């Protein structure tokens, strides 16, 4: 007889890992299914000449929802991840000098909401970096981790998912399924009865944004500014502006090195177009050089990273408890369906899923309790 898991979680990025670590307080009968070789999604550690750092620029704006998200994370990890809050206005480069960035005026980029996340002048300073969050969450996970496992189909009986097909041949059964993968993939993965033709078409044709990240190691200290930079140049084009900032310079083997991290967004449909990617990277470098003429001289390292489909929800209609309306035991934990963006949206989505499942996550592991359904609904 096939083994039946209590929970099958598809995707081991920040959202999936948060849910997996939190559920591990209640049961070890969990399958964590991941297509890649390793967990952590885009929030994995990068070894850089200046030391370990995040896989691309990371930022947490100071807001009530950000504090809520990081409090949830801290409760899972049993430690506070917020050191303090600080204020530093974002800057831009215009007319030969730096000025406070005041917004895009009448010409916002198509990915305005994605970029606006980085323009908050108030930020939360962290005791642990996002790449450390995912490492610690994975350490707290107790269950079966299944790397190199692609879910290729959901199967249903009545209004419940009974099992999934993995890698086209393997079958995995569970009582509950939590999907923390790419929303667009649901157009192919869900059974025909679970999604209308119109909804499936929306999922396939919606605009999804891919983050194009550029990490640079400069061979000298470029600036003491730790402000977020929003750079765009003097002419409007299809590529759009970028966000980035410099990390503090440090001395390595007698030489001052400084890392900087930059990000722009391109439509998912053109992610495979090397010409579009090349133009976007050239524009980022052009804007850096415009603001800091010597910054790109003698670069120690240049690292390009693409994070596909980090935004766009396909207008997927969900039940109040975040399940697919026709499938009562399939919860959608994908961060992109949350109204909040980026790290904050990922954590809030995980917290909402836990509430929907009927769990309240407290800092002390012994006090994580199963709540009555009415209480869980109040938490939503």
**Tell me, what's the pLDDT at 170?**
96
Which CATH code, of 3.50.50.60, 2.40.50.100, 3.40.190.290, 3.40.718.10, is assigned to 1-81+127-206+312-380? 3.50.50.60
Position 291 pLDDT exceeds 80: yes
Position 130 pLDDT exceeds 80: yes
> Please, which pLDDT band fits residue 367 given cuts at 50, 70 and 90?
very low
Those residues with Cβ within 8 angstroms of residue 354's Cβ, 6 or more apart along the chain or in another chain: 19, 22, 23, 360, 361
Alpha-carbon distance 374 to 179, whole Å?
24
Would you give the end-to-end CA distance of the chain in angstroms? 37
Pair type for strands 45-48 and 51-54: antiparallel
Give the pLDDT confidence of 329-345 residue by residue, as tens digits: 999 999 999 999 999 99
CA angle 9, 12, 15 (to 5 degrees): 85
pTM of the model: 0.92
Give DSSP secondary structure letters for 100-116.
E----TT---TTHHHHH
Annotation: CATH topology of 82-126+208-310 = Polyamine Oxidase; Chain A, domain 2 (3.90.660)
Position 366 pLDDT exceeds 80: no
Alpha-carbon distance 319 to 301, whole Å?
47
Position 320 pLDDT exceeds 80: yes
Give the pLDDT confidence of 341-361 residue by residue, as tens digits: 999 999 999 999 999 999 989
Q: What is the mean pLDDT of residues 267-292?
A: 91
In Å, how far are 68, 116, 274, 277, 304 from 282, measured between CA atoms? Answer: 38, 22, 12, 9, 12
User: What are the domain boundaries of the chain?
Assistant: 1-81+127-206+312-380, 82-126+208-310
Alpha-carbon distance 289 to 229, whole Å?
13
């Amino acid at each position: 007889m096939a083994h039946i898991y209590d929970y099958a979680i598809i995707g081991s990025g920040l959202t999936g890992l948060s849910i997996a670590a939190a559920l591990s307080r209640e049961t070890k009968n969990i399958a964590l299914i991941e297509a890649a070789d390793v967990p952590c999604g885009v929030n994995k550690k990068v070894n850089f000449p200046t030391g370990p750092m995040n896989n691309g620029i990371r930022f947490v704006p100071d807001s009530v929802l950000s504090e809520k998200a990081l409090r949830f994370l801290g409760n899972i990890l049993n430690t506070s991840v917020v050191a303090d809050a600080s204020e530093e206005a974002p800057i831009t480069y215009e007319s030969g000098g730096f000025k406070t960035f005041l917004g895009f005026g009448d010409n916002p980029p198509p990915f305005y909401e994605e970029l606006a996340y980085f323009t908050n002048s108030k930020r939360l300073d962290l005791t642990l970096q996002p790449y450390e969050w995912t490492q610690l969450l994975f350490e707290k996970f107790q269950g079966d981790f299944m790397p190199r496992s692609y879910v290729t189909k959901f199967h249903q009986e009545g209004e419940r998912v009974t099992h999934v097909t993995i890698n086209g041949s393997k079958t995995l059964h569970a009582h509950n399924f939590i999907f923390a993968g790419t929303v667009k993939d649901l157009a192919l993965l869900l059974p025909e009865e679970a999604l209308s033709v119109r909804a499936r078409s929306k999922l396939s044709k919606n605009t999804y944004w891919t983050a194009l990240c550029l990490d640079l190691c400069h061979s000298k200290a470029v600036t003491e500014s730790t402000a977020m930079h929003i750079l765009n140049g003097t002419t409007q084009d299809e590529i759009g502006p970028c966000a980035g900032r410099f990390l503090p310079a440090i001395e390595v083997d007698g030489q001052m090195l400084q890392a900087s991290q930059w990000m722009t967004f391109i439509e998912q449909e053109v992610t495979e177009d090397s010409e579009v990617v090349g133009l976007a990277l050239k524009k980022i470098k052009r804007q850096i050089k415009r603001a800091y003429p010597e910054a790109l001289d003698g670069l120690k390292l240049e690292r390009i990273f693409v994070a596909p489909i980090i935004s766009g929800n396909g207008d997927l209609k969900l039940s109040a408890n975040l399940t697919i309306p026709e499938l009562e035991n399939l919860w959608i934990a994908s961060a992109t369906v949350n109204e909040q963006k980026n790290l904050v949206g990922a954590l809030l989505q995980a917290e909402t899923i836990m509430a929907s499942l009927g769990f309240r996550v407290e800092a002390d592991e012994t006090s994580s309790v199963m709540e009555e359904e009415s209480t869980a609904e109040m938490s939503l």
